A and B are shown apart, each in its own frame.
Chain A
Amino acid sequence: MNLRAFVVVTRNSVLSELEYRFNYFMWLLSSLISVAMESAILLLAVKGRGELGGFLETDLWKFVLIGITIRTCTGQWKVVGEGIDEVREGGFRKYLLQPVNYPTYFVARALGDKMTITLLLLFGLAAFKYFDGPGPFLSMTAAPMFLLSFIGVNILTWQIYLMMIYGAFWIDETHFIQIAFNIGMAVFSGSLLPFTWLPEGTRQWVAFTPFQLLGDWPIRSALGRMSFEEFSFLGGQALLWMTIFSLLIWLMGRAGIRRYEAFGG
Chain B
Amino acid sequence: MDHGIVAKQLSRSFFRRERSGGLKGALKSMLRPQVKEKKAVMDVSFTVPYGACVGLIGANGAGKTTLLKMIAGLLHPSSGEIHTLGYVPYERDHKFLKKIGMVMGQKSQLWVDIPAIDTFQLLGAIYDLDPKHCAARVQELAELFGLKELLGVQVRRLSLGERMKMEIVASLLHSPSLLILDEPTIGLDLLAKETIRSFINTYRSKEKSTIILSSHDMEDITELCDHLLVISRGNLIYSGSVADFGQDQNLKNKVLELLKDEESTKEESSKK
Q: Which residues of A contact B (CB under 8 A)?
A: 1-2, 4-5, 7-9, 11-12, 15-16, 19-20, 90-91, 93-94, 96-100, 172, 258-262, 264-265
Any chain A CB within 8 A of the CB of B107? yes
- Residue of A5, A8, A20, A93 near B74 (CB, 8 A) is A93
Instruction: A90 to B106: give the CA distance in the assembly, Å.
Output: 10
- Residue of A5, A16, A96 near B113 (CB, 8 A) is A16
Residues B114 and A264 in contact, CB atoms below 8 Å apart: no
Contacts of B100 in A (CB 8 A): 97
Instruction: A97 to B90: give the CA distance in the assembly, Å.
Output: 10
Interface centre among A90, A93, A100 (most CB of B within 10 A): A93
Smallest beta-carbon distance B131→chain A, Å: 8
Residues B75 and A5 in contact, CB atoms below 8 Å apart: no
Closest to B110 in A: A94
Residues A12 and B73 in contact, CB atoms below 8 Å apart: no
Q: Which residues of B contact A (CB under 8 A)?
A: 14, 17, 65, 69, 72-76, 90, 92, 94, 97-98, 100, 102, 104-109, 111, 113-114, 118-119, 121-123, 125-128, 154, 182-183
Instruction: A219 to B108: give the CA distance in the assembly, Å.
Output: 41
Instruction: A96 to B89: give the CA distance in the assembly, Å.
Output: 11
Smallest beta-carbon distance B56→chain A, Å: 14
Smallest beta-carbon distance B129→chain A, Å: 10
Interface centre among A90, A94, A172, A260 (most CB of B within 10 A): A94
Known contacts: A19-B154, A93-B104. The answer to whether A8 contacts B125 by CB under 8 A is yes
14 contacts between A and B (CB under 8 A): A5-B125, A7-B125, A9-B122, A12-B119, A16-B113, A93-B107, A94-B109, A96-B73, A97-B74, A99-B94, A99-B126, A260-B74, A261-B75, A264-B107
Contacts of A260 in B (CB 8 A): 74-75
Residues A4 and B105 in contact, CB atoms below 8 Å apart: no
Smallest beta-carbon distance B189→chain A, Å: 20
Closest to B92 in A: A96
Known contacts: A5-B122, A262-B69. The answer to whether A96 contacts B74 by CB under 8 A is yes
Residues A4 and B125 in contact, CB atoms below 8 Å apart: yes
Interface centre among A8, A99, A259 (most CB of B within 10 A): A99
Residues A90 and B119 in contact, CB atoms below 8 Å apart: no
Known contacts: A96-B74, A97-B72. The answer to whether A8 contacts B107 by CB under 8 A is no
- Residue of B97, B107, B118, B183 near A90 (CB, 8 A) is B107
Smallest beta-carbon distance A96→chain B, Å: 5
Contacts of A15 in B (CB 8 A): 113-114, 118
Instruction: A7 to B126: give the CA distance in the assembly, Å.
Output: 10
Closest to B90 in A: A258
Contacts of B65 in A (CB 8 A): 265
Contacts of A93 in B (CB 8 A): 69, 74, 104, 107
Contacts of A100 in B (CB 8 A): 126
Residues A265 and B126 in contact, CB atoms below 8 Å apart: no
Closest 6 CB pairs of A and B: A265-B106, A99-B94, A5-B125, A99-B97, A94-B109, A4-B125
Give me 18 other A-B pairs in contact (C-beta within 8 A), A8-B121, A93-B74, A93-B107 excluded: A2-B125, A4-B128, A8-B122, A12-B114, A15-B113, A16-B113, A93-B69, A94-B107, A96-B74, A96-B92, A98-B109, A99-B94, A100-B126, A264-B107, A265-B65, A265-B105, A265-B107, A265-B183
